[in-house]
Amino acid sequence: MNEDIFNMEIRKFLKVVGVTSQREIDHAVHQAIAEGKIKADATLKISTTVSIPAIGLTYEIDGEVKLE
């Protein structure tokens, strides 16, 4: 295994995950506020799961996002 290539590939994947996730979350939060589902000063619980089935990895990260 080439460690440099492996690390670059992971970083590329995580960059796509970060950019795409931020865009989707931003859209969903604005829509939820507009529809009255949440308040503009809400604190939202958030989680994501990273999985690689081929090696049996499942890793969950939990957190909160404050809107104000």
Q: Spell out the SS3 assignment of 4-18.
A: HHHHHHHHHHHHHHH
Which pLDDT does position 19 carry in this prediction? Answer: 97
When divided into structural domains, the chain yields a total of: 1
Q: Which residues span the domain enclosing 35?
A: 3-66
Q: Which residues of the chain have pLDDT under 50?
A: none
pLDDT at res. 49: 97
| Residue whose pair of structure tokens reads 């939990």 in the numeric block | 62
Q: The pTM is what?
A: 0.85
User: Is residue 59 within 8 Å of 49, Cβ to Cβ?
Assistant: yes
Return all residues near 33 (Cβ < 8 A) that are at least 6 apart.
39, 40
